[in-house]
Amino acid sequence: ALPPRIERNFPSERPANSIRVLQWNILSQSLGEHNDNFVCCPLEALDWRTRRYRILEEIVEFNADIICLQEVDHYQFLSRALRTQGYEGIYFPKPDSPCIYIKGNNGPDGCAIFYRVNDYELIKVETRIVEVWRVQSNQVVILTMLRHKATDREICVATTHLKARQGALLSTLRNEQGKDILDFLENNIDGADCPIIIAGDFNADPTEPVYSTIRSDPRFGLDSAYRCDGIVQGAEDAGQEPPYTTWKVRGEGECCQTIDYVFFSRRHLGVKQVLPFPTGEQIGPNRVPSFQYPSDHFSLAVDFDLLPSSDASQ
């Protein structure tokens, strides 16, 4: 029998009329088994026949309205399973995913967005291979416009997975990818003053330029949800990112970083609450993935409040 999954709970009941967003790099099956070299994780914990249900449990448990995923290399499985739970999805693979070079792979990995069909109507989908200095990179972004049926407001939701690994050049590259994504956003919201949510694995800690690039872009007024949790609207920011969003042990050592975020437009959305991260003790000495948790990244989940629209025409 498997040990129970790491238990996490929101501090409070889900607020009425809130929008719950789940962000998660689920760990590609091919990369996790063959590329990542998680030296403290038993291989059986990565066996797809059981791991897939732990991924599903984690996604379904929090009952989010909108789900942004990265490293998806079993989209068909997820899409079929999540359809039974009331979700429809969009998937866009990386153009040259490292997965396809792995023996016995299940195709490329990519990003996906799922939304609850009872509550949201898909108005538009745009996908893009992210460019750096006008040249395509191996990273992608999905952008959707979703109509929130209860309020009849359109919300822009995007997800991405930026280039991995450390180094000055790579942090510059991620910053350029961030700029390209912001331009892509501008080109696709057509001047609409709509709420924006950009969730993803940015592979950048909060000191990296891409993090400031996103937060300081005057066009959108974006901030990071976990950082803003508990901050009064309009107050000087004093909040902090969580101490980690990924915590793993590879051959080269332990890696504990904050690199996943849910960015949102502050003039349209308020953070009501966020899902806390498990403690080091809950995670255990071998870190993740493990039998207790199926990915090396933890999921982020945020309850947003839709602020009254300043635009009377909306």
Residues making contact with ligand NDP (CB under 6 A): 25, 31, 35-36, 71, 94, 96, 98, 101, 138, 163-165, 201, 203, 250
Q: Least distance in Å: CB of 36 to ligand NDP?
A: 5
Q: Least distance in Å: CB of 135 to ligand NDP?
A: 13
Helix-helix angle 75-83:48-61, to 10 degrees: 50
Beta strands (DSSP E) in 19-109 are 19-25, 66-72, 87-93
Nearest CA to 244 out of 290, 297, 178 is that of 297
Query: Is the Cβ of residue 201 or residue 223 nearer to ligand NDP in the bound state?
Result: 201
Query: Is the Cβ of residue 36 or residue 229 nearer to ligand NDP in the bound state?
Result: 36
Query: Is the Cβ of residue 18 or residue 160 nearer to ligand NDP in the bound state?
Result: 160
Q: Least distance in Å: CB of 290 to ligand NDP?
A: 16
Q: Least distance in Å: CB of 138 to ligand NDP?
A: 4
Residue nearest to ligand NDP (CB): 98
Helix or strand holding residue 142 (H, E): strand 135-148
Q: Least distance in Å: CB of 225 to ligand NDP?
A: 20
Query: Is the Cβ of residue 246 or residue 292 nearer to ligand NDP in the bound state?
Result: 246
Nearest CA to 60 out of 49, 48, 69 is that of 69
Query: Is the Cβ of residue 94 or residue 215 nearer to ligand NDP in the bound state?
Result: 94
CA 74 vs. chain centroid, Å, equals: 17
| Distance of alpha carbon 141 from alpha carbon 228, whole angstroms | 24
Q: List the end-to-end C-alpha distance of the chain, in Å, as a whole number.
A: 52
| Distance of alpha carbon 208 from alpha carbon 16, whole angstroms | 36
Query: Is the Cβ of residue 46 or residue 271 nearer to ligand NDP in the bound state?
Result: 46
Q: Least distance in Å: CB of 70 to ligand NDP?
A: 7
| Distance of alpha carbon 212 from alpha carbon 250, whole angstroms | 29
Could you tell me if 272 and 304 are in contact, meaning their C-beta atoms sit under 8 angstroms apart? yes
